[in-house]
Each structure stands twice: as structure tokens, then as C-alpha cells.
Structure 1
Amino acid sequence: MNDQLAGLGLLLFSISVFVYYTLWVIVLPFVDSDHAVHSYFLPQEYAIALPVGALVLLLSFLLLFLGILMVRSRLGKKKKA
């Protein structure tokens, strides 16, 4: 039951991020700049900067993890020999 609850939480979080980002990038440019809805969103410059930064962090951690695995694998082979 806990796995299903965690999955539901992740699904709801993903859907809310998707809806927020879609409204921010697609709908907000067509709304007048003095409208009150603009106060709920970051400036448009961040619409590209935040996903690119998240992607760079994700790839960095992935490559770091793979590098650590490769080094440990190499050290394990040297100890056996």
C-alpha cells in the first residue's frame, strides 16, 4: 500500500508541475502583462534556464555515479589479481 501511495504522490506532483509549466510557457505570453495572474509565475527568462539547469544537474549526477561505479569496478579487479 505504501508503494501505491508514493506512486500516487509522484504522479500528482508530476501532473501539477506539467500543468504549471504549460500554463507558464504557453498561456502566460498571451495574457496582458498587468494582469494579476503574472504574480503567480516567475519571469519568462527562467522558463528555459530552470529546465536546462535541472538537466545539467541530472546529467552531472548520472555521470558522477557511473564514474564511481567504473572506478570501484577497476579497483575490485586489481585486488583480486
Structure 2
Amino acid sequence: MELADKTVGFMLSAVSLSIFTYYTFWVIILPFVDSDHFIHDYFLPQEYAILIPVFAGVLLLSFLCVFIGFVMLKSKKKKKV
């Protein structure tokens, strides 16, 4: 299982680094490039640079709250028995 764990870890690191590089280039460097340059074809509009992380954060917090709620309900049922 050690090789599989290393492979999964490497893949997660590679995906995370790719997303970080793409987002950094999109948000920091792209505004300084001329708007008629061909590189703009590979990126979403700038509005999504804020909307996507905000939506992902709200989704993450929602799932976290639901998970904590289920754990609290489950632990409450165990104490009654």
C-alpha cells in the first residue's frame, strides 16, 4: 500500500500545484496582458476569479456544518441508550 499512497500523494500535489499556478497567473499576471492577446482565450472572465473561490468556500462550510450536525445528532442518540 505504500506505493499507492505515494502515487496518490504525488497526484494530489501535482493537481494542487497546477490549480495554484493557473489561478495565480489568471489573477495576478493576466490583468497586465493586453486584452486582445491570444492567452486570454485560455482563461475564464475575471469575474469568475472571485465567484469560484467564494462558491467553493460556501459549499465547503455548508458540508462541514451538515457533517458536524450529523455527528452531534448521532452522539446524542448514543447517550440516550
TM bucket (normalised to shorter chain) is over 0.9
| Number of positions where the alignment pairs a residue of Structure 1 with one of Structure 2 | 79
1:62 equivalent among 57, 64, 76 = 64
The TM-score with structure 1 as length reference comes to 0.96
Shift of 1:26: 0.3
Task: Write out aligned runs for 1:70-81 (5 A).
Answer: 70-79=72-81
Q: Which residue of 2 aligns with 1:53?
A: 55
After the TM superposition, list the runs of 4 or more consecutive aligned residues in structure 1 that deviate by more than 4 angstroms: none
**Structure 2 portions without partners, runs of 5+:** none
What code does the residue aligned with 2:47 have? E
**Structure 1 portions without partners, runs of 5+:** none
Counterparts of 1:3 and 1:59 in 2: how far apart (Å)?
Answer: 27
